[in-house]
Amino acid sequence: MNPERSASIVGISEYPLRLARGVSPMEIKVDCIRAALDDAGLRWSDIDAVYDAGDGEAGGGLQLSAYLGLRPSVIDTTQVGGSSYEFQAAHALRDIAAGKCRVAILSYGSTAASNRFAIGTGGLHRGGGGNWQANMEMPYGSTLIANYAMVKQRHMHEYGTTTEQLAGISVSTRRHAMRNPEAVKAMTDLEFVGVNEITAADVLESRIVADPLHLLECCMISDGGGAVVIASAEVARDARKPPVWIIGSGEATKYCENDGDITTSAGAQSGPEAFGHAGVRPDEVDIAMIYDSFSITVAVCLEDIGFCKKGEAGDFVAGGRLAFDQPGRLTLNTDGGGLSSNHPGMRGIFLLIEATRQLRGESTSQVPDARIALAHGNGGMLGSTHTGGTVILARD
């Protein structure tokens, strides 16, 4: 294993509500930063680096710094969709290792559910001027969810994958969600039909949203937010909670090509890079927090990162095999994921938060003696222009 221990996650917080009417995204961000600092035992004055994806009112870090009264030596405005926070964690590791900062904050706040933001219709052409990408894709009327449905359809055609197999992803994550009180409240507040554990048959019987994606294979739309504090080894020694070290990272971009394979994601580049950096293998990972906008997102990323061979994800996830109490197997999305806990639009920060909980022993679906966790974000649209950010974490 790579002996480097230069930066660690020392503080985390997650906004408890998934329906927060009357609260602004900035208020969510600030509440989460405050709670994450308290979790770490740090003060506002300790922050010298701000990483922000420009969500809500944050202004890419400029307005957030002013709002909080900070004068950071580093502002990172990386915005690559749902994987922004994995990219930012990698950048914080590099900046801390280079001595540019000691305490970095990552934060997110969204009121997508309260604002009735229809995330799945993203990409739909609504008139106005075109650009290089819109001219090639939007005239055909494809939406965000249609892109993912197309990837699933191709995976089924290419490898014989079935919806019954992929339903195992929804089954595992819902099982974890039912053990997480905040996820249960989320499903209740958002008026899910059936706040309970589900079976593969339930997934197959749920309505088709974009053929062949069923409703229970699609993420919820929620409010929410979170914050992560990343600190130097020197600061981590005096933090309130045990440090969770960032030991490896990888970043990648993928887009449409005439001879490209839409069932291969950017994770095929970012995953091996992260493992090489960390000096660990996929079979050494205890927890995988994989961006689950849809079931097919998880399946493709599991293959590309290296947890199973290309075309084998169906068998790998079938039957809820990735639940927390399956000994000797990888465990998936123990907070309930975007499918059953929260998805305010960009979910990458929650992957880091739950991975940290697991390595601290604080998860509601705790894996015994978890030592290594992976967080992989997918940003943009799978099957079109998108990014992959992979971060590998380890406890002492």
Number of Cβ atoms within 10 Å of the Cβ of 97: 14
Look at residues 254, 281, 264, 228 and name the one whose alpha carbon lies nearest to residue 392: 281
Q: What 3-state class would DSSP assign to 376?
A: strand
Can you give the pLDDT at residue 123? 57
Nearest to 57 by CA among 23, 20, 26, 21: 26
Task: Dump pLDDT digits (tens) for 116-134.
Answer: 877 766 655 555 556 776 6
pLDDT at 130: 66
Cα separation of 230 and 8, whole Å?
5
pLDDT given at position 32: 98
Number of residues written out for the chain: 396
What pLDDT does 1 receive? 42
Please report which helix (H) or strand (E) contains residue 232, including its range.
Answer: strand 223-232
**Cα 287 from Cα 172, distance rounded (Å):** 13
Cα-Cα-Cα-Cα dihedral sign, residues 267, 272, 278, 283 = positive
Residue 16 lies in a domain: yes
The answer as to whether 174 is a domain residue is no
Q: Which parts of the chain register pLDDT below 50?
A: 1-3
Q: What is the CATH number of the domain that holds 291?
A: 3.40.47.10
User: Does residue 94 lie in a domain region?
Assistant: yes
Decide if 65 is inside a domain. yes
Residue 168 falls inside a structural domain: no
Rounded Cα–Cα distance for residues 315 and 254 (Å)? 26
Cis geometry, peptide bond prior to residue 242 (ω within 30 degrees of 0): no
In the prediction, which pLDDT does 128 show?
A: 53
List, in order, residues 6 or more apart from 119 with CB less than 8 Å away: 112, 144, 221, 343, 345
Roughly what angle, to the nearest 10 degrees, separates helices 84-97 and 348-360?
Answer: 60
Give the Cα separation of 246 and 373 in Å (integer). 10
Q: Tens digits of per-residue pLDDT, 208-255?
A: 999 999 999 999 999 999 999 999 999 999 999 999 999 999 999 998
Residue 160 belongs to some domain of the structure:
no
Number of domains in the chain: 1
Q: How far is the first Cα of the chain from the last one, in angstroms, to the nearest whole number?
A: 12
Residues 85, 32: contact at Cβ < 8 Å?
no
Distance CA 349, CA 51 (A): 12
Per-residue CA distances from 53 to 50, 85, 192 (Å)? 10, 8, 30
Residue that the structure tokens 């008139």 belong to: 127
Residue 316's domain spans which residues? 7-115+221-395
